[in-house]
């Protein structure tokens, strides 16, 4: 969220400027986020008191992912006529990510090549899926709840994964447990987010 919100603000600011608007408030908020780290550093240097670290902001890879993803979604139908290589590349990138996370370093950086390649494969594969008209309302409702589900899923991970996962588990048991936990955490997260919206609490938080 510390990356997502400033990034959306910046892209919105750029679009408003392009449209001839003058979003002074949004610009001031972005300027505040930009100078906040140096302000807190100066306060620490002057007063000698430690200040809280600032996590708000994004790296180059975040901006590239956002703009690049929008570009891929905007490709005209038929621009990617051959999908077979994508079906082959996607599991390879997933295997590479699993290998890196378990053998090299956990958690894998979002800017890693495996993540970038996997993201491109997924976006190109799903961007041309035709959703039946009768299923679109449900899909839109789940899409609206996705951000809230993302925000609360960590709570369920802490409560469910920590007591159940152990390095002593066998491969088959670990695989089955992983599949089950993914399903349960997703169901609980989306249910919580949908309930939050049903109670009209999104104006309060999300």
Nearest to 15 by CA among 4, 23, 5, 3: 23
Helix (H) or strand (E) holding 116: helix 113-126
> Percent helix, strand, coil in the chain (nearest 5)?
70, 0, 30
Percent of the chain predicted with pLDDT > 70 = 98
Q: Note the pTM of the prediction, 2 decimals.
A: 0.77
pLDDT tens column, 127-169: 878 889 999 999 999 988 998 898 899 899 888 888 888 888 8
pLDDT tens column, 6-56: 999 999 999 999 999 999 999 999 999 999 999 999 999 999 988 888 888
* Whole-number pLDDT of residue 13: 95
Statement to judge: residues 66 and 125 lie in one domain: yes
State the DSSP code for 79.
S
160: CB partners within 8 A, 6+ apart: 181, 184, 185
How many domains does one find in the chain? 3
Statement to judge: residues 99 and 116 lie in one domain: yes
Mean pLDDT throughout 186-204? 87
Helices (H), the chain: 4-18, 24-47, 60-73, 84-99, 113-126, 136-164, 171-198
Asked if residue 101 belongs to a domain, the reply is yes
CA end-to-end span of the chain, whole Å?
A: 11
State the DSSP code for 134.
G
Q: What are phi and psi of 101, to 5 degrees?
A: -65, -35
- Rounded distance between C-alpha atoms, residue 142 and residue 106, angstroms: 29
Domain that holds residue 118: 60-129
Statement to judge: residues 119 and 150 lie in one domain: no
pLDDT tens column, 73-92: 888 877 777 888 999 999 99
């Amino acid at each position: 969220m510390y990356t997502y919100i400033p990034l959306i603000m910046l892209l919105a600011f750029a679009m408003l400027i392009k449209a001839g608007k003058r979003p002074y408030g949004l610009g001031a908020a972005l300027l505040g986020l930009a100078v906040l780290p140096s302000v807190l550093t100066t306060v620490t240097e002057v007063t000698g008191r430690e200040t809280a670290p600032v996590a708000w902001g994004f790296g180059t890879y975040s901006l590239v992912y956002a703009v690049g993803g929008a570009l891929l979604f905007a490709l005209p139908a038929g621009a990617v006529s051959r999908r077979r290589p994508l079906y082959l590349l996607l599991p390879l990138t997933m295997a590479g990510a699993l290998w890196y996370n378990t053998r090299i370093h956990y958690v894998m950086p979002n800017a890693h090549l495996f993540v970038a390649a996997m993201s491109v494969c997924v976006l190109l594969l799903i961007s041309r899926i035709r959703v039946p008209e009768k299923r679109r309302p449900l899909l839109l409702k789940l899409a609206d709840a996705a951000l809230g589900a993302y925000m609360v899923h960590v709570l369920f991970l802490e409560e469910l994964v920590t007591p159940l996962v152990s390095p002593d588990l066998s491969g088959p048991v670990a695989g089955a447990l992983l599949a089950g936990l993914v399903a349960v955490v997703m169901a609980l997260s989306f249910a919580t987010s949908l309930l939050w919206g049903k109670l009209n609490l999104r104006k309060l938080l999300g």
